[in-house]
Structure 1
């Protein structure tokens, strides 16, 4: 087997995609996570709670793979509203640290016109290297 599909226990099924793919060398590729919970329900229509939930989802996938948050080596963020992100920098940092502590992997951010799920304000994909 060259890779293993990662789906955290209790999560609604991923249809047409994988939440995570773990390769035999320990690289975990995490598909874009949005601000909905394990049941694919948005608990908030606000940016910060959605961002925090997307990060929690990433950590849940890493943990389901046998890793820990500090194994994440890359995050790519897609946001629909640059002004909202910029205006909330302090809250972004606080929510980020709640989930990842002081672990800051390589990151990129792109501003996009929209995401597939209409209620999604942010999508974050990740790569982790498990030891």
Structure 2
């Protein structure tokens, strides 16, 4: 996987503009993961929900023999700009705990709500595992 970063562009913080994937391998596509735990319970703050969603993503990738280094795209659906901005430090900590120093291309969208009204975030993932 090669990160696409034109030399004259400022390097983005926390994501990449694009990646190139070449060669044989396996694609992994995950449904959107919310911040609900295994029992369907949600914590009330955005950072905790992001942390739960990211841990769910890592668990699912592990089921396919993949890890955060294989993520080639994230799409975030968030219900509150102000809550997201206020939770920056907690979200950063959750990112470092789960995704480490991997910054795949990401798109963030603010929406009016998710199917479960308690959910504040849902994250979709596409990953690619090169053939050995």
TM superposition score category, shorter chain reference: 0.7 to 0.9
Q: CA RMSD in A?
A: 1.4
Q: Which residue of the partner structure matches residue 101 of structure 1? A: 100
Taking structure 1 as the reference length, the TM-score comes to 0.77
Aligned residues: 107
SS at match of 2:76: strand
Q: Which residue of the partner structure matches residue 63 of structure 1? A: 62
- Taking the TM superposition and a 5 Å limit, the aligned residue runs for 1:1-131 are 25-42=25-42, 44-131=43-130
* Structure 2: gaps of 5 or more residues: 1-23
Cα distance in 2, alignment partners of residues 115 and 91 from structure 1: 21
Cα distance in 2, alignment partners of residues 130 and 41 from structure 1: 31
Q: Which moved more, 1:70-79 or 1:32-41?
A: 32-41
Structure 1 residue 97: deviation in Å?
0.8
* Deviation >6 Å, runs of 4+: none
Cα distance in 1, alignment partners of residues 102 and 37 from structure 2: 23
Q: Which has the larger radius of gyration?
A: 2
1:31-55 superposed Cα distances (whole Å, 9 cap, x missing partner): 000011223232x121111100001
